[in-house]
Amino acid sequence: MERLCVAIAFVLLPLSVMAADSGYYARVDTGYSWTSDGVDGSAIIGAGVGYQFTDHLRGDITLGERGWYSDSQSTAVTGFGTLSGKADIESTDAMVNAYYDIGHYNGFTPYVGGGIGLAYNHTESANLALNGVGIGSINSDNRTDVAWQLGAGTAYAFTPSVSLDVGYRYMDMGKAQTGDTFTAVNGATVGGVRATADLHGSELQAGLRFTF
């Protein structure tokens, strides 16, 4: 989270000295991400800077943080019962995005767009239980994957320089993974053990765009 706040500051501060009507804009966003494969959803915070190239075409560079995913998995172990595990996941992405603004209708500007970038996915240690009784944990790990998104939405201009942006997108952040060492409650360790989870799904976002 601290990494993202520092990055947002470096992204937004230079815009304060830009002239009005320069074509540049800044954005701040929030929302929620619903994922699949047993991963609970996460709130989203983000920010970025962009440029309006033409009346219909614009692009931006964004930073996003989803720091509240939780992955829960379970499997039946013959002769023993149910083995379950849970780990918290944080994903930070940097994206380059392009949008096509379809037109302007009484203050509303619908658009479609997409983007590509990188996602840094950090998985905390995973706690394992057998039939509800803790038996140990798998160590934490990090993974960087290609990320991409496709979406659509609309912006509403409150003033010539401030717009509310509401949209949907499908977001794929690659995979998250644990480390490969299981440590039992008695201190014994077993190597070569790793759990993975796909981070992808639907997202709803709302934010403000400030045109300079």
State pLDDT tens for residues 156-203: 999 999 999 999 999 999 999 999 999 999 999 999 989 899 999 999
What pLDDT score does 16 carry?
45
Give domain limits for the chain: 2-211
Tokens 């002239």 appear where? 19
pLDDT over 70 at 6, yes or no: no
Q: Which CATH architecture has domain 2-211?
A: Beta Barrel (2.40)
What pLDDT score does 36 carry?
74
Residue 166, both tokens: 């509401």
What pLDDT score does 22 carry?
83
Residue 45, both tokens: 């915070």
What pLDDT score does 4 carry?
53
Rounded Cα–Cα distance for residues 71 and 38 (Å): 6
What pLDDT score does 73 carry?
86
Tokens 């699949």 appear where? 36
The DSSP H or E segment spanning 82 is strand 81-101
Looking at the chain, list the stretches that DSSP marks H as alpha helix, in order from N- to C-terminal side. Answer: 2-12
Residue-wise pLDDT tens digits, 88-137: 999 999 999 999 999 999 999 999 999 999 999 999 999 999 999 999 99
pLDDT (average), residues 54-81: 93
End-to-end alpha-carbon separation of the chain, Å? Answer: 27
On average, the pLDDT of the chain sits at 91
Residue-wise pLDDT tens digits, 9-44: 555 555 444 444 689 999 999 999 998 777 899 999
Residue 125, both tokens: 């240690």
Q: Is 52:58 a contact under the CB 8 Å cutoff?
A: yes
80 exposed, middle or buried (CB, 10 Å; 0-12, 13-18, 19+)? exposed
